[in-house]
Amino acid sequence: MNFVPAVQPPGSQDSCGYWFVFQGDRLLVRPEDRDIRLPLCERLQSLGVVPLRTQYLGTLGGQGCYSAELPTEAPPPHGMRFEQLRGLWGSLPEPLFWIAGRAFQIMDWDRNHQFCGRCGSPTENRQEERAKVCPRCGQIAYPRISPAVIVATTRGQSILLARARRFPHAMYSVIAGFVEAGESLEQCVRREVQEEVGISVTNLRYFGSQSWPFPNSLMVAFTAEHAGGEIRIDPAEIVDARWFTAGDLPRIPDKISIARRLIDWFLAGRQPDYPQSPEQEGGDDVGR
């Protein structure tokens, strides 16, 4: 990506930069034919908008990148509109899409930590790192990241896929869940699979990770093998779960997610001509 993160902007802002401007959780974009463009300017005021807050992100190819928050009532500039970030996958160039995810998380953290959570005093930005500090009690708040595991569980020539209640249109995916306090990633994998579908797993292997800015997750992916038990779903979370072979897959997630990369990894191992990118390869063994 050639993106270089930074906390402090250059001394003078005298060149155009990319602006990731949010109203709520929607990103300001300019549609041009079949492409989607971001504001590229020195200052947002040149577009006729006044942000509540701005944050410096770093540089992409030498150009500055900034995030900003607009008031909820602010109309978009002429020829521009607000779009849900996730819906821009495939329309916005991929490097800009993932920087937009970073921009949203930093903007969201900034607006949610204007006051100290311990004593209620107004916070200040730290100069040397991405953090808020309370000048009264010294409490420091960093951008929130919520780790979650996601795991592709196989049994011979089959993969376990489940349909969660929150999924649209009968989509199925691999098992995922948030890491709890005091829990290792491996413990979380075993607990989530046991809780959601009632089986035990073994041979856990690290697969990869992905920032997931909806709103602030870090997805840590594993592969695993079925160790025992029959599927018994948790009806509060899961509508259906089954073992699927490569030839009878249901609707699965799109290519934006590491969930799809896990499923593609499974398919590549069962279909020799199935395309597999290097980042879809499994990682080192992390134990059992």
Could you read off the pLDDT of 244-282 as tens digits, one per residue?
999 999 999 999 999 999 999 999 988 766 776 544 333
Query: What does the pLDDT average to over 218-244?
Result: 97
Could you read off the pLDDT of 111-127 as tens digits, one per residue?
999 999 999 999 999 99
Could you read off the pLDDT of 51-104 as tens digits, one per residue?
999 999 999 998 999 999 999 999 999 999 999 999 999 899 999 999 999 999
Q: Is residue 202 included in any domain, yes or no?
A: yes
Query: What does the pLDDT average to over 164-169?
Result: 84
Q: Among residues 92, 112, 132, which one ends one of the domains? A: 112
* 158-164 and 146-155 beta bridge pairing: antiparallel
Answer yes or no: do 185 and 261 share one domain.
Answer: yes
Answer yes or no: do 247 and 170 share one domain.
Answer: yes
Higher pLDDT, 168 or 166: 166
Answer yes or no: do 267 and 154 share one domain.
Answer: yes
Answer yes or no: do 166 and 265 share one domain.
Answer: yes
Q: Is residue 244 included in any domain, yes or no?
A: yes
């709520």: which residue's tokens?
24
Q: Is the pLDDT of residue 217 over 50?
A: yes
Domain count for the chain, please give it.
2
Answer yes or no: do 105 and 191 share one domain.
Answer: no
Which residues form the domain of 184? 146-271
Answer yes or no: do 152 and 267 share one domain.
Answer: yes
Residue 284, pLDDT score = 36
How many alpha carbons fall within 13 Å on the CB side of residue 161? 22
Answer yes or no: do 173 and 78 share one domain.
Answer: no
143: pLDDT confidence band, cut at 50, 70 and 90? very high
Query: What does the pLDDT average to over 216-242?
Result: 97
Q: H/E element holding 140?
A: strand 140-141
Please give the Cα distance from 215 to 149 (Å, whole number).
15
Q: Is the pLDDT of residue 287 over 60?
A: no
34: pLDDT confidence band, cut at 50, 70 and 90? confident
Residue 35, pLDDT score = 86
Q: Is the pLDDT of residue 209 over 70?
A: yes
Q: Is residue 124 included in any domain, yes or no?
A: no
Residues 6+ apart with CB under 8 A from 158: 243, 244, 245
Query: What does the pLDDT average to over 174-203?
Result: 98
Q: Is residue 126 included in any domain, yes or no?
A: no
Q: H/E element holding 102?
A: helix 94-112
Find the CATH number of the domain harbouring 96.
3.90.79.20
Residue 280, pLDDT score = 38
Q: Is residue 189 included in any domain, yes or no?
A: yes
Higher pLDDT, 257 or 13: 257
**How would you label 201-236 residue by residue, b for 16+ Cβ within 10 Å and e otherwise?**
bebbbbbbebebbeebbebbbbbbebeeeebebeee
Q: Which of 30-44, 130-144, 158-172 has the highest mean pLDDT?
A: 130-144
Answer yes or no: do 208 and 93 share one domain.
Answer: no
Query: What does the pLDDT average to over 175-197?
Result: 98
Answer yes or no: do 100 and 193 share one domain.
Answer: no
Answer yes or no: do 108 and 153 share one domain.
Answer: no
Find the CATH number of the domain harbouring 185.
3.90.79.10
Q: Among residues 67, 93, 112, which one ends one of the domains? A: 112
Q: Is residue 282 included in any domain, yes or no?
A: no
Answer yes or no: do 242 and 182 share one domain.
Answer: yes
Report the range of poorest mean pLDDT among 10-14, 150-154, 219-223.
Answer: 10-14
Q: Is residue 129 included in any domain, yes or no?
A: no
Mean pLDDT, the chain, as a whole number? 92
Answer yes or no: do 186 and 251 share one domain.
Answer: yes
Q: Is residue 8 included in any domain, yes or no?
A: no
283: pLDDT confidence band, cut at 50, 70 and 90? very low
Residue 288, pLDDT score = 24
